[in-house]
Chains A and B, each alone.
Chain A
Amino acid sequence: MDPTLLTVAEASRAIGEGRLSPVTLTEAYLDRIAALDGELHSYVTVLREAALDAAHGAARDIAAGRSRGALHGISIGLKDIYKTRGIRTTAGSPRYEHNVPDEDAETWVRLCDAGAILLGKHETHEFAIGGPDFGLPFPPARNPWNTAYYPGGSSSGSAVAVASGLCAAAMGSDTGGSIRGPAAYNGIVGLKPTYGRVSRRGVFPLSYTLDHCGPLTRTVEDCAILMQALAGYDPQDPASADTPVRDYRAALTGRLDGLRIGVIRHFHERDAVADFGADSAPNAAYVAAFEDACRRLEALGARLVDVSLSPLIDYLDANRLIMLAEAYALHEADFRERPQLFGHHMFARVGLGAFLSAADYVEALRQRRELAVEFARALADVDAAISANATAPAPRIDQVPFWGVFERASYTAPYNLTGSPALSIPIGFENGLPLAFQIVGKPFDEAMVMRVGHAFEQATDFHRQRPPIAASLPQHR
Chain B
Amino acid sequence: MSEPISSERFAVLVERAGLKLTPEQFEELRQGYRFVERMTRTVRRQRDRAAEPAHIFVQPRI
Contacts and interface: CB of A to CB of B under 8 A. Distances in A.
Contacts of A317: 38-39, 42-43
A158 B34 CA distance: 33
B17 to A, nearest CB: 4
Contact of A363 (B1, B20, B35, B43): B43
A364 B41 CA distance: 10
Interface stretch (A50-58, A248-256, A353-361, A464-472): A353-361
Contacts of A324: 36, 39
A406 interface: yes
Interface in B1-20: 1, 13-14, 17-20
A23 B29 CA distance: 51
B33 A355 contact: yes
B53 A355 contact: no
Interface residues of B, number: 31
Interface in A292-350: 313-314, 317-318, 320-321, 324, 335-336, 339, 347-349
A39 B38 CA distance: 39
Interface string B47-62: 1000111110010110
Nearest to B47: A366
A347 B32 CA distance: 11
B59 to A, nearest CB: 10
Contacts of B38: 317
A86 interface: no
Contacts of A352: 29, 32-33, 35-36
Contact of B19 (A321, A354, A369): A354
A407 interface: yes
A372 B53 CA distance: 11
B43 A356 contact: no
B51 A369 contact: yes
A339 B19 contact: yes
A355 B17 contact: yes
Contacts of B55: 209, 365
A351 interface: yes
Contacts of B35: 320, 352, 403, 406-407
Nearest to A311: B42
Contacts of B42: 313-314, 317-318, 321, 367
A366 to B, nearest CB: 5
Given A317-B43, A354-B17, A365 B54 contact: yes
B51 A321 contact: no
A238 interface: yes
A137 interface: no
Contacts of A336: 18-20
Interface of A: 209, 235, 238, 313-314, 317-318, 320-321, 324, 335-336, 339, 347-349, 351-352, 354-356, 360, 362-370, 372, 403, 406-407
Interface of B: 1, 13-14, 17-21, 25, 28-29, 32-33, 35-36, 38-40, 42-45, 47, 51-55, 58, 60-61
